[in-house]
Structure 1
Amino acid sequence: MLIALSCILFFFGLYFFYLIIYWNWNKARQPYYNPNQPLLMGHRGSPTKITENTIFSFQKALEQGADGIELDVRLSQDKQIVVFHDKDLKRLSNRSDMVESLSLAELQTIELKKEEGQKEEAYIPSLNELVSLLAQAKVVNIEIKSNSLFHGHNILNPLIKFLDKNHLDDKCIISSFNPLILMKLRLKRPKTIIGFLYNRNQIFHGLSNLIWILRVQPENLHIHYSLLNHWIVSWARKKKIKINSYTINDKNHYKNIKLDGIFTDNIEYLK
């Protein structure tokens, strides 16, 4: 029994090694990337100027010269896709409700906290409200938020309907820290451009992330700047995976590594 198990593990190891070194998958064309300089994407819009993940914050990021925007999505109680980062309202309002416990109409009555000097209104938008704004961006990263590995999967069908209806595949990347959601999305809609968020909080995060990357086969790898290293970048380049890093607000965070895209809170500084 022990010998059989050892043989299985040995051949699994050989197969895994083969995938890491030799396996390539076809990469979809992503016309928004510029080989000469990284894309600048407003992380939740322009959150140092206007409340994050609001329509005016996204508009501000584009006005500041961002190539694209990054936004976070969840489902409301009535299964509408809303643009909001946290699982609850504590940080950005005077309420503590869970986002998924309120309907879209209820969420939109809540006034969010404003940044210093901000005059623009701040409320939680639905993803549908952003369609015309998304058309102005070269690239849009939609991050699916989930509270656990098995939470948040019910957003996939309405999100797929949104993408199909609005024909955003030429500029849209779907990302998540939840690899199971990404794997399901890959199976449900193979043509979707996926961004794999490299999770630094997992035990043995390097091996765990690598296994999921091989399974999901993402077109993009999104990695925190503190985890950037030449080995990861070199491996991704060989697999034709684009490297985007977050959240970069200092040019020194990436000066020695060539990136394809940057998520930043401060477009004006990096522009």
Structure 2
Amino acid sequence: MPILVGHRGAPLRRTENTVPSLLLAAEQGADAVEFDVRGSADGHPILLHDRTLQRFWNDPRTPGEADLAEIRALRTEVAGERIPTLAEAAATVPVRLVVDNKNPELVPVVAAELRAAGALERSCFIGEPEVLTVVREHQPEAEIVLSWVGPDLPPSALLDTVRPQALNLRWDSLTEESVKRAADLGLRMWTYCVDDAEEAVRALAWGIDAVISNDLPAVTPVLAGAGA
């Protein structure tokens, strides 16, 4: 049975990359939650996907233009939703953490905060080569999932540098042959985002190792049935 990963939590029902969204994903059966990390002006890792705070938080600045106190003051219209720190998410969310760090300069502090929260051993690192290259240098034993736009696999030189345990290819460009080629290289295959039952059935047939989804209730019955 593939690992089921909530994409930024449960974004169809709670604001993405917030603690309520991550906790809801866990309640909906996710084995892990994926979230994005950026840095505040004063160097604190926070959960945010976009380059600016505009979407959801109605602030045109980048997170690097606002200090942590200003960022934590931002709210949506839904009670309890705000931008969390990485430390808060790591200490609160009980399932496996899939960390997409957008800033290579944050790699050491991200690892330090996960370690301080007792969450480093249940964390893996996903994302782009520029950041994951630094992760591998800083954390030789880290579990790394290298994101790529398929169907072609990353070049061998990049694989030798990053040394990922798994690849993460977009579902809309993934092929069954891509999965087979990755397996031949000893690499597990993740994919994003699988959001309906029909897609989940095909992912199972292809032998996908982890499914990242925005709509966990839509795909959980298919994956749970496979496990049974």
Q: TM-score, normalised by structure 2?
A: 0.88
Unmatched tracts of structure 2, length 5 or more: 221-228
Q: Name the counterpart of 1:121.
A: 80
1:249 to 184, 188, 195: 195
- 1:263 matched to 2:220: no
TM-aligned CA distance change 1:63 to 1:50, over 3 Å: same
Q: Name the counterpart of 2:65.
A: 101
CA contact (8 A) 1:50 1:120 kept: no
CA contact (8 A) 1:169 1:192 kept: no
**What residue identity is the alignment partner of 2:114?**
L
TM-aligned CA distance change 1:87 to 1:209, over 3 Å: farther
User: Alpha-carbon deviation of 1:219?
Assistant: 0.8
CA contact (8 A) 2:90 2:119 kept: no
User: Alpha-carbon deviation of 1:121?
Assistant: 2.2
User: Alpha-carbon deviation of 1:208?
Assistant: 5.4
Residue by residue over 1:9-39, the C-alpha shift from the partner in whole angstroms, topping out at 9 and shown as x without a partner, is xxxxxxxxxxxxxxxxxxxxxxxxxxxx111
Q: Name the counterpart of 2:56.
A: 92
Q: Name the counterpart of 2:224.
A: none
- Percent of aligned pairs with the same amino acid: 24
**What residue identity is the alignment partner of 2:89?**
L
Tell me the SS of whatever aligns to 2:54.
coil
**What residue identity is the alignment partner of 1:183?**
T
1:83 to 33, 40, 47: 47
**What residue identity is the alignment partner of 1:221?**
L
Q: Name the counterpart of 2:135.
A: 185
1:133 to 89, 92, 105: 92
TM-aligned CA distance change 1:142 to 1:248, over 3 Å: same
Residue by residue over 1:115-137, the C-alpha shift from the partner in whole angstroms, topping out at 9 and shown as x without a partner, is xxxx5422100011113323x21
Q: Following the alignment from structure 1 to structure 2, what is the Cα–Cα distance between the partners of residues 95 and 125?
A: 16
Q: Following the alignment from structure 1 to structure 2, what is the Cα–Cα distance between the partners of residues 61 and 93?
A: 21
TM-aligned CA distance change 1:60 to 1:157, over 3 Å: same
CA contact (8 A) 2:91 2:119 kept: no
Q: Following the alignment from structure 2 to structure 1, what is the Cα–Cα distance between the partners of residues 110 and 168?
A: 20
Tell me the SS of whatever aligns to 1:58.
helix
Question: Over alpha carbons, which structure has the higher Rg?
Answer: 1
Q: Name the counterpart of 1:5.
A: none
User: Alpha-carbon deviation of 1:80?
Assistant: 0.2
Unmatched tracts of structure 1, length 5 or more: 1-36, 146-151
- State how 1:1-271 maps to structure 2 within 5 Å: 37-112=1-76, 119-134=78-93, 136-137=94-95, 139-145=96-102, 152-177=103-128, 179-199=129-149, 206=152, 209-254=155-200, 255=202, 256-271=205-220
Q: Following the alignment from structure 1 to structure 2, what is the Cα–Cα distance between the partners of residues 159 and 93?
A: 23
Q: TM-score, normalised by structure 1?
A: 0.74
Q: CA RMSD in A?
A: 1.9
User: Alpha-carbon deviation of 1:50?
Assistant: 0.7
Pick which of 89-98 and 208-217 moved more: 208-217
Q: Following the alignment from structure 2 to structure 1, what is the Cα–Cα distance between the partners of residues 153 and 183?
A: 18
More helix by share: 2
Q: Following the alignment from structure 1 to structure 2, what is the Cα–Cα distance between the partners of residues 212 and 44?
A: 26
